[in-house]
Amino acid sequence: MWLSELASRGGVSVATAKYYLREGLVPPGEAVGATRARYDQSHVDRLRLVRALVDVAGLSLDQVRDVLAAMAAERSPAAAIGAAHYRLSPPPPTEPSAAALDRVRALVADRGWQVDDDSPHLVAVASALDAMEAAGQPLADTGLETYAASAGEVAKVDLEAMVASAGPAGEDAATYAVLGTLLTEPVLVGLRRMAQEHQARARLG
Amino acid sequence: MWLSELASRGGVSVATAKYYLREGLVPPGEAVGATRARYDQSHVDRLRLVRALVDVAGLSLDQVRDVLAAMAAERSPAAAIGAAHYRLSPPPPTEPSAAALDRVRALVADRGWQVDDDSPHLVAVASALDAMEAAGQPLADTGLETYAASAGEVAKVDLEAMVASAGPAGEDAATYAVLGTLLTEPVLVGLRRMAQEHQARARLG
């Protein structure tokens, strides 16, 4: 396909597609003559990924470049997913407390989750628990366990969809995971807000 | 308590506390002489709420003012929670499709959730479903149902904690709901990322 079709199928303007190509965020097409190039489905997929990282995740182009490089550098799909995901949980403004880190590590161990000991998600969760404590609204163990159980159910569905749709190939699976994580987070967060709206009405209305 | 203790218990610097007071985001204390004022627990609570809205939710001070005004204007706790929550789901950059809106409305009806027909959360979820479709990764019905079931479990725990901790008084419950929603979202999102990390390793590693 030509550039105009690539842009249209990627959901961006021709100017934006050109810009991403110039910045190296989307690899060059196959040159046809001096000024034209042909693109294929892999270019469309990459364009959609870049667009989601920018529009949905709010990453800067430098951060997008970093995520893409991390994905490309890994050999196994799981490692590529991990590397890409890690870029999505930036370090919190302040270090979490040792107590909160221990609490999250214990939760992960209890559930039998295989997670790196220095996973940025672990740090992000510990930091959020500290923030709740500081705001005078600590999260009780029962609450934390319900959250973890729900997150586990959701992640199972996510991985099933990923395996079914993208197959086990490296960057494809990682692309799917990053897109899937970013695009579904607003769904999950929005549904939970609606469920809270309902619960507030049913119990307090 | 004096200003310095208010700032310390609210987890901000004295300069920040003064700034929030000057901006009217925290109501004035009881004047003691010309230049001093006394503050109580309600001021600490308000200060923590403002801080969480700024630091955790990333709202501007104008948006914080808007949330606080919406909470104060409502009579019932449920209405105050709804009004505050609505400010947390800003309109998406593009209108969701009618098909996505219908899909979310049907889901809400199936679960028996009492949600306003024009709830901004409903619009936000529909818009996220459109984004997944556009990215070539539509969310299957089974996935959406798992998300909704998980969100429902989480919201039940949230409301139990809210009722137990804040009692049914108007602004207290709304404060708790807003803080609870904002502060726990990073916990939920982080746990889900860890669960995905585990699933990716277990299934693709």
pLDDT in tens, B9-33: 888 899 999 999 999 999 999 999 8
Residues 6+ apart with CB under 8 A from A37: A3, A28, A29, A30, A31
User: What's the confidence (pLDDT) of residue A75?
Assistant: 67
Chain A positions touching B159 (Cβ under 8 A) are: 196, 199-200, 203-204
Whether ipTM exceeds 0.85: no
- Which pair of tokens denotes residue B84? 């505050």
Residue B174 CB neighbours (<10 A): 31
User: What's the confidence (pLDDT) of residue B168?
Assistant: 47
C-alpha to C-alpha distance for B202 and B204, rounded to whole angstroms: 6
pLDDT at B124 over 50: yes
User: What's the confidence (pLDDT) of residue B162?
Assistant: 73
C-alpha to C-alpha distance for A92 and B205, rounded to whole angstroms: 28
pLDDT at B117 over 80: yes
Shortest alpha-carbon distance between residue A201 and chain B (Å): 5
- Which pair of tokens denotes residue B82? 């709804």
Closest CB from A82, A165, A179 relative to B197: A82
What's the average model confidence in pLDDT over B120-137? Answer: 84
pLDDT tens sequence across B174-188: 676 777 777 788 888
Residue A29 CB neighbours (<10 A): 17
User: What's the confidence (pLDDT) of residue A168?
Assistant: 47
Residue B169 CB neighbours (<10 A): 12
The low-confidence residues of chain A, meaning pLDDT below 70, are 56-57, 75-78, 81, 90, 93, 165-174, 176, 205
Chain A positions touching B198 (Cβ under 8 A) are: 113-115, 155
Shortest alpha-carbon distance between residue A94 and chain B (Å): 12
Chain B positions touching A144 (Cβ under 8 A) are: 187
Question: By C-alpha distance, which of B93, B75, B79 is closest to B130?
Answer: B93
Tell me if B194 sits within 8 A of A113, measured CB to CB. yes
Question: By C-alpha distance, which of B74, B83, B115, B54 is closest to A190?
Answer: B115
DSSP secondary structure of B95-163:
PPPHHHHHHHHHHHHHHT----TT-HHHHHHHHHHHHHHHTT-PPPHHHHHHHHHHHHHHHHHHHHHHH
pLDDT tens sequence across B129-173: 888 887 777 888 988 999 999 999 988 888 887 777 655 454 566
Closest CB from A124, A128, A200 relative to B159: A200
Closest CB from B78, B180, B199 relative to A204: B78
Shortest alpha-carbon distance between residue A114 and chain B (Å): 5
Domains of chain B: 1-55 (1.10.1660.10), 56-204 (no CATH)
User: What's the confidence (pLDDT) of residue B136?
Assistant: 73
Chain B positions touching A153 (Cβ under 8 A) are: 146, 149-150
Closest CB from B142, B155, B198 relative to A114: B198
User: What's the confidence (pLDDT) of residue A146?
Assistant: 92
Residue located via tokens 């969760």: A125
